[in-house]
């Protein structure tokens, strides 16, 4: 009776008959897509940072005009500081550094990351759902 070997090669090596086959093409296309996406993010980093700085300034200006208690002014200034901090981060980190930071956050907080990813997926699905 012939013996069947189920462990011959990895799934990736069995996915393509030729070394540069469909799997290699798929990896190349994925790499090109990732490079294009990274270039787009890098191209929009500075305009996004500028808008965040502008929003922080507008919040500070509005907070100065508030006659309300110190608590509301403090919250507004805190929000403006967070926006400025986010803008500075975006200016000082490239796409690869941001992705490394994101991976680190996901590894430190996996449950919260899954919940956030689910919520974002739900919102995106609702946004694209045709009614």
CA quadruple 7, 13, 16, 18: dihedral sign = negative
* Per-residue confidence (pLDDT) for residue 118, from 0 to 100: 96
On whether the CB atoms of residues 16 and 23 are closer than 8 A, the answer is yes
pLDDT top residue among 74 and 12: 74
Task: For 84-111, write each residue's pLDDT tens digit.
Answer: 999 999 999 988 899 999 999 999 999 9
C-alpha to C-alpha distance for 69 and 71, rounded to whole angstroms: 5
On whether the CB atoms of residues 95 and 41 are closer than 8 A, the answer is yes
* Per-residue confidence (pLDDT) for residue 20, from 0 to 100: 56
Which whole number is the average pLDDT over 22-32? 86
Fill in the DSSP letter of residue 109. Answer: -
Q: For residue 65, what is the enclosing H or E element?
A: none
pTM exceeding 0.75: no
* Per-residue confidence (pLDDT) for residue 19, from 0 to 100: 53
On whether the CB atoms of residues 57 and 88 are closer than 8 A, the answer is no
C-alpha to C-alpha distance for 95 and 33, rounded to whole angstroms: 14
Task: For 33-74, write each residue's pLDDT tens digit.
Answer: 888 888 888 888 899 999 999 999 999 888 887 766 677 888
Task: For 110-131, write each residue's pLDDT tens digit.
Answer: 999 999 999 999 999 998 986 6
Output the CA angle 105-26-100, nearest 5 degrees: 15
């Amino acid at each position: 009776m012939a013996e069947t070997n189920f462990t011959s090669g990895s799934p990736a090596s069995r996915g393509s008959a030729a070394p540069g086959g469909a799997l290699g093409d798929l990896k190349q296309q994925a790499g090109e897509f990732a490079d294009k996406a990274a270039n787009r993010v890098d191209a929009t980093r500075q305009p996004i940072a500028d808008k965040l700085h502008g929003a922080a300034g507008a919040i500070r200006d509005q907070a100065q005009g508030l006659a309300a208690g110190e608590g509301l002014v403090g919250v507004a200034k805190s929000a403006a500081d967070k926006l400025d901090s986010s803008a500075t981060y975006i200016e000082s980190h490239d796409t690869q550094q941001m992705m490394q930071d994101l991976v680190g956050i996901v590894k430190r907080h996996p449950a919260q990351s899954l919940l956030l990813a689910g919520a974002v997926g739900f919102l995106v699905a609702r946004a694209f759902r045709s009614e």
